[in-house]
Amino acid sequence: MGLSAWNELLEAHREPHTEESDQVTLVLSAETQNTLQNFLVEILQIEDENSSLAAIGYYHKILETGNERNRAISVHIYTVAWPSTATAVDLLSIFVGPDTVNVRWGFLLDWQEGSHKTWLRGLRNSFDLLQQKLGRDLQKLDFCTIVLMGAQVCVGLDLRSPQWNSLKMEFLNQSLRSLAFIRRASLLAVEQDSAPESLIEIRRVMLGQESSQTPNYIEMDKLFVPRGCDSESKIKTMGENFPVLQIEAESFIAGQFERHIPGASQKEDTDPEYSSDASLSPTVIPEIDVQAELAKIYEDQKSSLLNINGTQNSPIDIPNAKEAVDL
């Protein structure tokens, strides 16, 4: 099908404009089908058991927002796979041309089934592709949101999985917040059982509206960082040596992020040594200042993880959480 024929088909199936509602176009780029399905149901209140990323999907929903003008929002929703591809952007170009207004972009990442180590590269490449192919400055014209779905997985992950530890969680937090800050995007987390009022606030941010909810910068399962709330200094409170403005460089993505952040989640990667039963077993502790020793190890590990001043080929060994405790 030619591009002009595709454009005609899209226009023919769009809901007609009404004066009673504002018009918004929302493009959702989802890492997995389950992530897309959950977002449609939980955030946009769209029931569709047949949602798929095999092709471009379209939905329409009129949402009551309770804004000061008491006007509903007519949302035209298009769904594609993540990371964004040149073909998908070409097919969707009918409503994201240089002069199009009220476009919202949502990048839906999957904590449960996604590949975490690909997140930073995939986001950077998607933003670059959209800006190049559309001929528009997304940071000025559009509202973009990065959404971490299934974020309840984060709770205790550094204890359940030998692949994760608290340092890597902090490193991921700072990396994603830095990218969102650079690209003027919002960064949100959605838990499986999020409260209804939280889902409403998430939807408001996605649609480019102001939210009254207090930002949460630290807890990975409850991240709520609307565009404009974060700053370089806030991100560096978790580690003053973190290179906020350099995280999109290939040396950082390949040399740091993709080396330290684990790949896809594994449901079977729970280590018995990290289970609650094991934690109840008695342990003989030498007569030393354990807290002081652990604090020193933690700071040494953190400095090693965040130090990117060495050569790219110089390996940085990061002891995992178990090794730190054994010390």
Is the domain of 157 the same as that of 301?
A: no
Share above pLDDT 70 across residues of the chain, in percent, rounded to a whole number: 71
Domain that residue 320 falls in: 272-326
Residue pair 64/22 in contact by the 8 Å Cβ criterion: no
Residue 101: predicted pLDDT: 81
Q: What is the DSSP letter of 187?
A: E
Of the chain, the percentage scoring pLDDT greater than 90 comes to 54
Q: Is the pLDDT of residue 53 over 70?
A: yes
Answer left, alpha or beta for residue 31, where phi above 0 means left and psi between -120 and 50 means alpha: alpha
Taking residues 33-39, what's their average pLDDT? 95
* Mean pLDDT, range 47-52, rounded to an integer: 76
pLDDT at residue 275 above 50?
no
Q: Residue 188 and residue 111: Cα distance in Å, rounded?
A: 12
Residues 285, 247, single domain; the answer is: no
Q: What is the mean pLDDT of the segment spanning 27-34?
A: 96
pLDDT in tens, 222-271: 999 999 999 999 999 988 999 999 999 999 999 999 999 998 754 434 33
List CB contacts of 260: < 8 A, sequence separation 6 or more.
Answer: 168, 171, 305, 316, 318
Q: Which of 26, 181, 202 is nearest to 100 (CA)?
A: 26
Both 303 and 229 in one domain: the answer is no
* Closest by CA position to 163, among listed 3, 6, 318: 318
Q: Is residue 230 part of a domain?
A: yes
The counts of H helices and E strands in the chain are 14, 7
User: ∠ at Cα 94 (22, 104), nearest 5°?
Assistant: 45
Residue 115 burial by Cβ neighbours in a 10 Å radius (0-12, 13-18, 19+)? middle
H-run or E-run covering 233: helix 232-235
Let me know if residue 7 belongs to a domain: no
- Same domain assignment for residues 247 and 289: no
pTM as predicted: 0.78
Residues 67 and 167 placed together within one structural domain of the fold: yes
Predicted local distance difference test score (pLDDT) of residue 100? 78
The reply to whether 307 falls in a domain is yes
The answer, yes or no, to whether residue 138 has pLDDT greater than 60, is yes
Contacts of 122 (CB under 8 A, 6+ apart): 82, 83
Closest CA to 158 of 321, 326, 327: 321
User: Looking at the structure, do residues 280 and 240 belong to the same domain, yes or no?
Assistant: no
Domain count, the chain: 2
Is the link from the previous residue into 282 a cis peptide, with omega within 30 of 0?
Answer: no
Helix (H, G, I), strand (E, B) or coil at 47: coil
Q: Do 168 and 316 fall within a single domain?
A: no
Task: Tell me the pLDDT band of 137, cut-offs 50, 70 and 90.
Answer: confident
Among 260, 295, 315, where does a domain finish? 260
Both 100 and 162 in one domain: the answer is yes
Strands 103-110 and 143-149: parallel
Nearest to 174 by CA among 246, 76, 264: 246
Element (H, E) at 5: helix 3-13
Decide if 3 is inside a domain: no
Flag whether 215 is in a domain: yes
Burial label for 75, CB within 10 Å (0-12, 13-18, 19+), is: buried
Residue where a domain stops, chosen among 260, 292, 307? 260
Task: Find the mean pLDDT for residues 103-115.
Answer: 95
Contacts of 272 (CB under 8 A, 6+ apart): 278
Q: Among residues 260, 280, 305, which one ends one of the domains?
A: 260
Residues 165 and 55 in one domain: yes
Same domain, residue pair 146 and 279: no
- Residue 266 falls inside a structural domain: no
Same-domain pairing of 45 and 177: yes
pLDDT digits (tens, 9 = 90+) for 152-211: 999 999 889 999 999 999 999 999 999 999 999 999 999 998 999 999 999 999 999 999
